[in-house]
Amino acid sequence: MKLILVILALLPQLAYADSTALKIETDTVWIVVAGALVFFMQAGFALLESGMSRSKNAVNVVMKNYMDVCIGSIVFWFVGYGLMFGDNPSGWFGITHFIPQQLADMEYTFLFFQTMFAATAVTIASGAMAERTRYHGYLIGALIISGIIYPVYGSWVWGSYYDGQGWLAELGFIDFAGSTVVHSIGGWVALAGIIVLGPRLGKFSESGKSRDIPGHNLTLVALGGLILWLGWFGFNGGSTVAADASIGLIVLNTHLSAAAGALGAITMLLLTSKPILLTHSVNGSIGGLVGITAGCATMDPQYAMLTGFIAGMVVVSGARFLELLKLDDVVGAVSVHGFAGAWGTLAAGIFLKGNMFSFEQIFVQFIGVAAGFIWAFPVALLMYFAIDKLIGLRASSLDEQRGLDYSEHYEIGYPEFQTELVHKGKE
Amino acid sequence: MKTDALTDEMARRRKAIYNGLCACLQQEEAIKATEIWMQEFSTKPLYALQPFLSRIIEGLNINVPRGTIQQKILNSLLNETTTQEDPPKRTKLPEFKKENKKTPAEVNASHKVFTYFIDYFLAALFKSDSASELPIKIYVFDNAHSIGVSGQSLDRMKQWLSENGQVSLISEMTKEQMQGLFHLFYISSCENIGPVNTDRLIAESVKIVEQLPESSEFSIKDIF
């Protein structure tokens, strides 16, 4: 009888223990799956950027994307994670958890997920700088982005995993999954990169008119865009860092915003009497995805759509604006990630559920966006300038003529039909 | 722009030389003398002016004392300002004295294939955009010294450029020099008609040239 009473008394606790363990296990499975989806975004970036480049540079673009994951992941494990998520007493950067080992199970899961984010931030610049960047110089840049530029800003917003809090987080800055932390930062780095590099040979005429240099495979562009779209469900949905009921709204908002982004881009093209291009439509969707990333958990679906629609318009206008400045962004990364990310972060304040159009919140959002630019752009500008002087960032015009596949990697992506144009490789 | 073979430093020096020359010569003489400096002396030590002075005084029949010209150029080089003027843009290529010697026959397959390729490429290029002919030729003309051809061969190449292919391209060019010459055309063509059109014209030219019997001995792709 006594035994039965003891069992009955312990049952609720056993049940609780079981449910806690189950919750951790479920969370882990979801975060790992979401992390894998974010990893898959690298394939999307590779296809999209490669498709938008000329065939003589296809291998080079893919190689840069591939190595972004490799370098970004290792450097983030060495220093990035500690800087971003370590104890953060000052609010400016973390000071513990470098080369993290012997963590709790859930911390490993979190580290894996965040590593994928870091790799994403790094790879944004590659497309903008395509077709005229030397491989080694680019990789040094990737190392510094994943080791310093991205995690320092990240610590200002998300740096409260262990102890302390980032200064922007303390202000109440909202950036749920990284419109600014990941995308705008990547976009500003890309902007610095294309300024230091200069445009591709012949991109602008003497009178300043921009010439179209079409990519070699628009099917890859569309496939890359769709893969990014799929990966974004993990990017935003996984940012709950838990398998909870809020994921439904988050992924729905993500999806609607992407769809509206393409419509926004097309509308902008129609309004300005420009042809409806596939590349702009795909970029519009990605702009919508970038835009909703900050507010996907704190916005109603109709506002998610509006955010995406405007983001799509921003993407098209931003690309035109850069061309007027004679800046050559091969894939439109600055516009898609930088400008749309900035808009999305503001939108997260404007359309904040329960506190819409709050001037105070919008102002905090503006501070966060401005801080991102003030930190990332000049540091990246200095970094690329130093790389250009010390190692060499801009490929020579002869290498540009021959294509970076040969000059940087000694191989080409399309040996069957490229034989008419390419030389026989370096001797 | 970084792709310009003419660096900022070179442009700055050219302005200083031109402004120094303008201080003691007629503008037409100063322009011609600056062109000579660009083509033959721009890569030489900046302050070693004697060979340059000898060349322009004899070549252009200048009567101004050598010391005066030297003094003016040195003053200009030592007191460079941002307000110094560039020589006016040329509207035609300089004329060259025609050689009396008969053009040497093409001696090998590589030369024949290359000449045919360049001729076809230029004809197609100028047909697609006739306005680009002069700027492209001027660019190649101004930078021909950078491909390692000098002396009489350089003059002959320039003569070939200025006479629309009526004179045969020199036959002594090495493969590296052919690569260099084609690259100059490529850069200038990209800047003038865009990279997409340039690549299209190259592809067309390659197809034509590959039908030559000599193409079995020398592949034009070797110079890309």
Binary contact (A211, B194; C-beta < 8 A): yes
Confidence category of residue B101, pLDDT binned at 50, 70, 90: very low
Is the pLDDT at A176 greater than 70? The verdict is yes
Total-model pTM: 0.82
* CATH code (residue A394): 1.10.3430.10
Q: Which residues of A touch B187 (CB under 8 A)?
A: 201, 397, 401
Is the pLDDT at B14 greater than 60? The verdict is yes
- pLDDT score for B157: 75
Interface test mutation site (partner B, options A134, A201, A396, A398, max chain B beta carbons within 10 A): A201
Query: How far is Cα A375 from Cα A145, in angstroms, rounded to an integer?
Result: 12
Query: Does B207 reach chain A within 8 Å, measured CB to CB?
Result: yes
- pLDDT score for B167: 58
Query: Does B221 reach chain A within 8 Å, measured CB to CB?
Result: yes
Is the pLDDT at B97 greater than 80? The verdict is no
Q: Which residues of A touch B186 (CB under 8 A)?
A: 397, 401
- pLDDT score for A382: 97
Amino acid at A249: L
The residue-averaged pLDDT of A385-390 equals: 96
| d(CA A125, nearest CA chain B) in Å | 20
Q: Which residues of A touch B195 (CB under 8 A)?
A: 200-203, 211, 213
Query: How far is Cα A15 from Cα B33, in angstroms, rounded to an integer?
Result: 96
Nearest CB to A202: which of B183, B195, B223? B195
- pLDDT score for B165: 57
- pLDDT score for B94: 61
- Quick one: chain A helix, strand, coil %, rounded to 5? 70, 0, 30
Query: Does B30 reach chain A within 8 Å, measured CB to CB?
Result: no
Chain A residues with at least one Cβ partner in B under 8 Å? 54, 197-203, 205-206, 211-214, 394, 397-398, 400-402, 419-424
Binary contact (A401, B2; C-beta < 8 A): no
Confidence category of residue B3, pLDDT binned at 50, 70, 90: very low
Nearest CB to A213: which of B193, B195, B202? B195
Residue of A nearest to B195 (CA): A202
Binary contact (B3, A213; C-beta < 8 A): no
What are A133's strand-pairing partners? A394
pLDDT tens per residue across span B163-191: 665 556 666 678 888 888 889 989 999 99
Is the pLDDT at A356 greater than 90? The verdict is yes
**Contact, B93 vs B161, CB < 8 A?**
yes
* Token pair for A396: 């020579």
Query: How far is Cα A65 from Cα B175, in angstroms, rounded to an integer?
Result: 36
What is the extent of the structural domain holding A108?
Answer: 2-424
Per-residue H/E/C for chain B? CCCCCCCHHHHHHHHHHHHHHHCCCCHHHHHHHHHHHHHHHCCCCCCCCHHHHHHHHHHCCCCCCHHHHHHHHHHHHHCCCCCCCCCCCCCCCCCCCCCCCCCCCCCCHHHHHHHHHHHHHHHHHHHHCHHHHHHHHHHHHHHHHHHCCCHHHHHHHHHHHHCCCCCCCCCCCCHHHHHHHHHHHHHHHHHHHCHHHHHHHHHHHHHHHCCCHHHHCCCHHHHC
Residue of A nearest to B222 (CA): A423
Residue with token string 């003589």: A56
The residue-averaged pLDDT of B127-147 equals: 82
Query: How far is Cα A211 from Cα B22, in angstroms, rounded to an integer?
Result: 38
Query: How far is Cα A366 from Cα A360, in angstroms, rounded to an integer?
Result: 10
- pLDDT score for B4: 45
Q: A162 or B8, which is more confident?
A: A162
* Token pair for B145: 């010294």
* ipTM of model over 0.90: no
Nearest CB to A397: which of B3, B193, B224? B3
Query: Does B55 reach chain A within 8 Å, measured CB to CB?
Result: no
Domains contained in chain A, number: 1
- pLDDT score for A160: 80
The residues, ordered by sequence, that sit 6+ positions from A134 with a Cβ below 8 Å of its Cβ are A391, A392, A393, A394, A395, A408
Query: Does B19 reach chain A within 8 Å, measured CB to CB?
Result: no
Binary contact (A202, B207; C-beta < 8 A): no
Helical residues (DSSP H) of A325-396, grouped into ranges: 333, 340-350, 359-390
pLDDT mean across residues, chain A: 92
The residue-averaged pLDDT of A362-385 equals: 97
The residue-averaged pLDDT of A29-47 equals: 97
| d(CA B180, nearest CA chain A) in Å | 9
The residue-averaged pLDDT of A135-160 equals: 95
Cα-Cα-Cα-Cα dihedral sign, residues A67, A72, A73, A78: positive
Query: Does B3 reach chain A within 8 Å, measured CB to CB?
Result: yes
Binary contact (A421, B186; C-beta < 8 A): no
Percent of chain A with pLDDT strictly greater than 90: 84
- pLDDT score for A32: 97
Percent of chain B with pLDDT strictly greater than 90: 4
Is the pLDDT at B96 greater than 60? The verdict is no
| d(CA A325, nearest CA chain B) in Å | 14
Is the pLDDT at A340 greater than 90? The verdict is yes
A161 backbone dihedrals φ, ψ, rounded to 5°: -70, -35
The residue-averaged pLDDT of A365-369 equals: 97
Select the highest-mean-pLDDT range: A286-290, A414-418, B86-90: A286-290
Query: Does B206 reach chain A within 8 Å, measured CB to CB?
Result: yes
- pLDDT score for B7: 61
- pLDDT score for A25: 93
Confidence category of residue A7, pLDDT binned at 50, 70, 90: low
Q: Which residues of B touch A394 (CB under 8 A)?
A: 2
Instruction: Of A208-217, B144-153, B203-212, give the lowest mean pLDDT range.
Output: B144-153
Q: B53 or B170, which is more confident?
A: B53
Q: Which residues of B touch A212 (CB under 8 A)?
A: 196
Binary contact (B195, A199; C-beta < 8 A): no
Interface size A-B, in CB pairs within 8 Å, comes to 65
| d(CA B78, nearest CA chain A) in Å | 27
Query: Does B219 reach chain A within 8 Å, measured CB to CB?
Result: yes
- pLDDT score for A95: 94
Is the pLDDT at B5 greater than 60? The verdict is no
Residue of B nearest to A214 (CA): B196
Confidence category of residue A418, pLDDT binned at 50, 70, 90: low
Nearest CB to B196: which of A213, A421, A424? A213
Is the pLDDT at A308 greater than 90? The verdict is yes
| d(CA A307, nearest CA chain B) in Å | 36
Instruction: Of A68-77, A275-284, A362-371, B200-209, give the lowest mean pLDDT range.
Output: B200-209
Query: Does B198 reach chain A within 8 Å, measured CB to CB?
Result: yes
Nearest CB to A423: which of B187, B189, B221? B221
**What is the enclosing helix (H) or strand (E) of A183?**
none
- pLDDT score for B103: 46
Nearest CB to A423: which of B191, B193, B224? B224
CA atoms in the 13 A half-sphere facing the CB of B154: 15
Helical residues (DSSP H) of A53-183, grouped into ranges: 58-75, 81-85, 105-128, 135-144, 150-158, 167-171
How far is residue A259 from each of residues A269, A304, A307, A308, measured CA to CA in Å? 16, 10, 11, 8
**Contact, A331 vs A281, CB < 8 A?**
no
- pLDDT score for B166: 55
pLDDT mean across residues, chain B: 77
Is the pLDDT at A363 greater than 70? The verdict is yes
Cβ atoms within 10 A of the Cβ of B26, count?
12
Nearest CB to A397: which of B187, B199, B224? B187
The SS3 assignment for A394 reads strand
Query: How far is Cα A38 from Cα A410, in angstroms, rounded to an integer?
Result: 30
Confidence category of residue B125, pLDDT binned at 50, 70, 90: confident
Q: Which residues of B touch A208 (CB under 8 A)?
A: none
- pLDDT score for B23: 85
